[in-house]
Structure 1
């Protein structure tokens, strides 16, 4: 997959590296802004397994 991205991007090697870094940062931002909050309600680690102290 990385080879495919490398071949699809235009320009010299340094520009491809910059574009790949920007794409990676954008993918991480999309995950943290929209994907993870959307699925957080369905994840089991939001449930408390230890009761309150009395």
Structure 2
């Protein structure tokens, strides 16, 4: 796939490299600022936080 993209980019290898880096940066920015913020509320992450109370018979450290 990358070879296919590389052969379709215009110019010398320097121009192709600059264009590929620009495309990569544009795609990364779109993901970072548009896609990920849109997906975040739809995905539930636990992050180790427990919302339910401990069982009544358990001892709490401390």
Partner of 2:37: 37
Runs of 4+ with deviation above 3 angstroms? 46-49
- Match for residue 12 of structure 1? 12
Query: CA deviation digits over 1:3-32, x for unaligned, max 9?
Result: 111011010001100000000000000001
Q: Normalized per residue, which structure has more helix?
A: 1
The structure with the largest alpha-carbon Rg is: 2
CA RMSD of aligned residues (A): 2.1
Structure 1: gaps (5+ residues)? none
- 1:46 CA displacement: 6.2
Give the structure-1-normalised TM-score: 0.82
